[in-house]
Protein backbone atom coordinates (compact mmCIF):
# COMPACT_ATOMS: atom_id res chain seq x y z
CA UNK A 1 0.00 0.00 0.00
CA UNK A 2 1.35 3.40 -0.95
CA UNK A 3 2.11 5.79 1.85
CA UNK A 4 2.36 8.92 -0.31
CA UNK A 5 -0.47 10.93 -1.81
CA UNK A 6 -0.68 11.19 -5.58
CA UNK A 7 0.91 14.26 -7.18
CA UNK A 8 -1.11 17.06 -8.72
CA UNK A 9 -2.16 17.08 -12.35
CA UNK A 10 0.42 17.81 -15.04
CA UNK A 11 -1.13 21.17 -15.93
CA UNK A 12 -0.15 22.71 -12.60
CA UNK A 13 3.52 21.76 -12.80
CA UNK A 14 6.34 23.74 -14.37
CA UNK A 15 5.28 27.29 -13.61
CA UNK A 16 5.40 30.30 -15.92
CA UNK A 17 7.81 30.50 -18.85
CA UNK A 18 9.40 33.76 -19.96
CA UNK A 19 8.46 35.18 -23.38
CA UNK A 20 11.00 34.78 -26.18
CA UNK A 21 10.86 38.41 -27.44
CA UNK A 22 9.83 37.41 -30.96
CA UNK A 23 8.50 39.76 -33.62
CA UNK A 24 9.56 42.81 -35.59
CA UNK A 25 12.28 45.00 -34.12
CA UNK A 26 12.09 47.51 -36.99
CA UNK A 27 8.90 48.25 -38.93
CA UNK A 28 8.14 49.04 -42.59
CA UNK A 29 9.23 52.48 -43.76
CA UNK A 30 11.86 52.87 -41.04
CA UNK A 31 15.57 53.16 -41.80
CA UNK A 32 17.83 50.22 -40.96
CA UNK A 33 21.60 49.90 -40.88
CA UNK A 34 23.60 46.91 -42.13
CA UNK A 35 23.74 44.00 -39.67
CA UNK A 36 20.75 45.17 -37.67
CA UNK A 37 18.15 42.57 -36.62
CA UNK A 38 14.81 43.19 -38.32
CA UNK A 39 12.68 40.28 -37.14
CA UNK A 40 12.97 37.34 -34.76
CA UNK A 41 10.65 34.46 -35.60
CA UNK A 42 10.04 30.76 -35.12
CA UNK A 43 10.04 29.17 -38.57
CA UNK A 44 9.74 31.17 -41.78
CA UNK A 45 6.57 33.25 -41.48
CA UNK A 46 8.44 36.00 -43.32
CA UNK A 47 11.03 35.33 -46.03
CA UNK A 48 14.16 37.29 -46.90
CA UNK A 49 14.04 39.62 -49.90
CA UNK A 50 16.64 41.95 -51.43
CA UNK A 51 19.18 43.26 -48.92
CA UNK A 52 18.06 40.84 -46.18
CA UNK A 53 19.62 37.58 -44.96
CA UNK A 54 18.31 34.83 -42.69
CA UNK A 55 20.18 33.42 -39.68
CA UNK A 56 20.06 29.78 -38.67
CA UNK A 57 17.33 30.50 -36.10
CA UNK A 58 15.28 32.14 -38.91
CA UNK A 59 16.11 35.66 -37.70
CA UNK A 60 16.02 38.19 -40.52
CA UNK A 61 18.74 40.85 -40.55
CA UNK A 62 19.81 43.62 -42.92
CA UNK A 63 22.77 43.10 -45.26
CA UNK A 64 22.75 46.74 -46.42
CA UNK A 65 21.67 50.06 -44.94
CA UNK A 66 18.42 51.49 -46.26
CA UNK A 67 14.65 51.59 -45.83
CA UNK A 68 12.64 48.55 -44.77
CA UNK A 69 9.72 47.29 -46.88
CA UNK A 70 7.36 44.36 -46.31
CA UNK A 71 5.78 42.92 -49.46
CA UNK A 72 3.52 40.00 -50.37
CA UNK A 73 4.30 37.94 -53.46
CA UNK A 74 2.35 34.82 -54.45
CA UNK A 75 0.92 34.52 -50.95
CA UNK A 76 4.31 34.72 -49.20
CA UNK A 77 5.46 37.66 -47.09
CA UNK A 78 8.89 39.08 -47.91
CA UNK A 79 11.02 41.59 -45.99
CA UNK A 80 13.43 43.64 -48.07
CA UNK A 81 15.74 46.61 -47.62
CA UNK A 82 16.05 49.14 -50.43
CA UNK A 83 19.47 50.82 -50.16
CA UNK A 84 19.65 54.56 -49.57
CA UNK A 85 21.18 56.69 -52.27
CA UNK A 86 24.50 58.14 -51.05
CA UNK A 87 25.34 61.54 -52.54
Per residue in 63-81, pLDDT tens? 999 999 999 999 999 999 9
Q: Is the pTM value of this prediction over 0.85?
A: no
pLDDT at 87 over 60: no
Question: Does an H or E element contain 54, and which?
Answer: strand 52-54
Q: For residue 22, which phi and psi values (nearest 5 degrees)?
A: -85, 165
In 3-state terms, what secondary structure has residue 82?
Answer: strand
Res 1: pLDDT: 66
Summary mean pLDDT of the chain: 89
- Segments making up each domain of the chain, as ranges: 22-83
CATH ID of 22-83, from 2.40.50.100, 3.40.980.10, 3.30.60.50, 3.30.1490.100: 2.40.50.100
Q: How many DSSP H helices and E strands does the chain contain? A: 0, 8
Cα dihedral 30→33→38→43 (10° resolution): 140
Mean pLDDT score, 49-70: 96
pLDDT at 8 over 80: no
Res 6: pLDDT: 67
Amino acid sequence: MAHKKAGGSKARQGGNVAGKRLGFKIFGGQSVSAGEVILRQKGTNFHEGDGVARGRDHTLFAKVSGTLNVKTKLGKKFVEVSPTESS
